[in-house]
Amino acid sequence: MQQPYRPEPLTDYNGDQQVEALGSALSAVAACLGESYPLRIGGTDVWTDERIVSRQPCDPDVIIGSVSKADAALAERAIAAAHAAFPMWASVAPEERAAVLFKAAALLRQRKHIYNAWLMVEAGKTRSEADADTAEAIDFLEYYGRQMLELTRRGEEQLVHIDGELNELTYIPLGVGVVISPWNFPLAIMAGMTTAALVTGNTVVLKPASATPVIAYHFVKLLEEAGLPAGAVQYVPGSGADIGDLLVQHPLVRFVSFTGSKEVGVRMSRLVAQVAPGQHWLKRFIGELGGKDAIIVLPDADLDAAAKAIVASAFGYSGQKCSACSRAILHKDCYDEVLERCVQLANRLQVGSALDAATQVGPVINEAAYRKILKYFDIAKQEGRIAAGGGAAPGRGYLLQPTIVEGVNPEAVIMQEEVFGPLLAVCKADDAEHALKIANDTEFGLTGSIFTRDRKAIAKAKRDFHVGNLYINRKCTGAVVGAHPFGGFNMSGTDSKAGGPDYLLLFTQPKLIAELL
């Protein structure tokens, strides 16, 4: 009997045994750097001359791997392979599909240090951020496997009984799905998106982020090792310009699951809505498109706890989380005190290589991100006072200082646009109502926090703070699968809740069968 779901514990790297295990894993991964990787289509390797080269954010001269790059013809081939495999995979019992996820979770748990090492070298994550990524991937596998079993039972239990009839409600798969995953959680989010589609009986064409394709390759191979049959998932890295539109618009595709920027997601949603010649269905779009997340602090709060939460939420993984706190909205009566504490904490953060155990803030993902964020630093200098950081940090790789800008107007660029880097804008509010108004003055609505002991203020935030994930007296990052179903409002996406009890429904269609007895 399957045990109840429990989130995967995080690794304590304060002990010698775990540190040594991670060191051995890093050595093993280092021995594999620079290797070449094929596409996987229909369960077979496909090699191409054109490659995607993955580089280490901590040292761009280090090549993580060279990955075969799909073109339009290979994207067509991948869709055809997924379409051909769909009848077979859809006919597999839900219990067997869930068992593949449970086996994959067990394998991933056994190899946690190895996957942490890959995340550190390819995504530039510190050991704690990498471990949280791997743990979340395990959680998605364990949780979605159980949710598939629950969905099977739900159809048997929720119908009203009518004498003389046998009624069944089943949740059947849609067909071929395209999964386009992000680089910032290249294991957890990629794994969650892919396996939610697979466990419900769909087949998948996976296009991982070009910045982190090697991690995705290793995960696809792990799924195959866990018993996923050939053709159920196709691994097709490629540029959006070459294959993105083809995948999204293809008439054989039933749904598109995407995590990434608002601009790309909005365009993708429009393309998905268009019916192609020969297409017999309306496609679904499941999108998570980012955020401009705020933490509100009122004067009665635990101000030390608030400052620590702001800094952790703003600068964890160098601010490269869609849930990252990029706006701190401080009541005027505690503004100076909280700002000072945040500045002190930010200035103490150790910036450097993610491979260094002392590092707390590693590099941003690549040169394009590095240059974009530096431009936002320049804008910030025009829109407020730099209280901490404000530029590049010394060392190799794409290192930036944790930057705090205070005295910022609510309408400022750095209060409105998603920077996706270590930049925190601090704004003053006259009262609790004003703070909520500022917090809601954004096109996004993903996460948010409020720090206060006032139950009336908490009740008002619960009602009026318009975000998908609202946290009270805690940081706005670190959603736990099963405990904090994750997804936002407005331009933050399509209101889906990854890691929640409703998520698998997005990948199914309900079918009612009524039999007269």
SS (H, E, C) 66-83: EEECCCHHHHHHHHHHHH
Q: How many CB atoms lie within 10 A of CB 73?
A: 10
State the residue for tokens 């997601």.
Answer: 265
What are the residue ranges of CATH 3.40.309.10 in the chain?
A: 293-480
90-140 pLDDT, tens digit each? 999 999 999 999 999 999 999 999 999 999 999 999 999 999 999 999 999
Phi/psi at 221 (5° precision)? -65, -35
Provide the CB-side half-sphere exposure for 427 (13 A, CA): 32
- Interior/surface letters 397-432, b for 16+ CB within 10 angstroms, e for the rest: bbbbbbbbbbebebebebbbbbbbbbbbbbbbbeeb
Question: Tell me, what's the pLDDT at 495?
Answer: 87
Return d(Cα 501, Cα 220) in angstroms, integer.
Answer: 25
| Cα angle for residues 493, 115, 359 (degrees, 5° grid) | 85
Query: Which is it for strands 489-490 and 508-516: parallel, antiparallel or unpaired?
Result: unpaired
Contacts of 105 (CB under 8 A, 6+ apart): 138, 141, 142, 145
Is the distance from CB of 139 to CB of 95 less than 8 angstroms? Answer: no
What are the residue ranges of CATH 3.40.605.10 in the chain?
A: 70-289+495-516
Return d(Cα 90, Cα 109) in angstroms, integer.
Answer: 27
Return d(Cα 380, Cα 387) in angstroms, integer.
Answer: 11
By C-alpha distance, which of 450, 432, 383, 390 is closest to 411?
A: 383
Structure tokens at 432: 């609790």
Return d(Cα 42, Cα 198) in angstroms, integer.
Answer: 15
400-454 pLDDT, tens digit each? 999 999 999 999 999 999 999 999 999 999 999 999 999 999 999 999 999 999 9
- C-alpha dihedral sign at 345, 350, 351, 354: negative
Set 288, 337, 406, 433: catalytic member: 288
Is the distance from CB of 234 to CB of 42 less than 8 angstroms? Answer: yes
With H, G, I as helix, E, B as strand and everything else as coil, classify residue 186.
Answer: coil
- Interior/surface letters 2-35, b for 16+ CB within 10 angstroms, e for the rest: eeeeebbeebebeeeebeebbeebbeebeeeeee
Q: pLDDT tens digits, the chain, 517 residues: what are they?
A: 789 999 999 999 988 899 999 999 999 999 999 999 999 999 999 999 999 999 999 999 999 999 999 999 999 999 999 999 999 999 999 999 999 999 999 999 999 999 999 999 999 999 999 999 999 999 999 999 999 999 988 876 778 889 999 999 999 999 999 999 999 999 999 999 999 999 999 999 999 999 999 999 999 999 999 999 999 999 999 999 999 999 999 999 999 999 999 999 999 999 999 999 999 999 999 999 999 999 999 999 999 999 999 999 999 999 999 999 999 999 999 999 999 999 999 999 999 999 999 999 999 999 999 999 999 999 999 999 999 999 999 999 999 999 999 999 999 999 999 999 999 999 999 999 999 999 999 999 999 999 999 999 999 999 999 999 999 999 999 999 999 999 999 999 998 999 999 999 999 999 999 999 9
Return d(Cα 415, Cα 302) in angstroms, integer.
Answer: 24
Q: How many CB atoms lie within 10 A of CB 334?
A: 18
State yes or no: is 288 an active-site residue. yes
What does CATH list as the number for 293-480? 3.40.309.10
State the residue for tokens 């600068």.
Answer: 315
Return d(Cα 162, Cα 149) in angstroms, integer.
Answer: 25
Strands (E), 315-422: 325-331, 385-388, 403-406
What does CATH list as the number for 70-289+495-516? 3.40.605.10
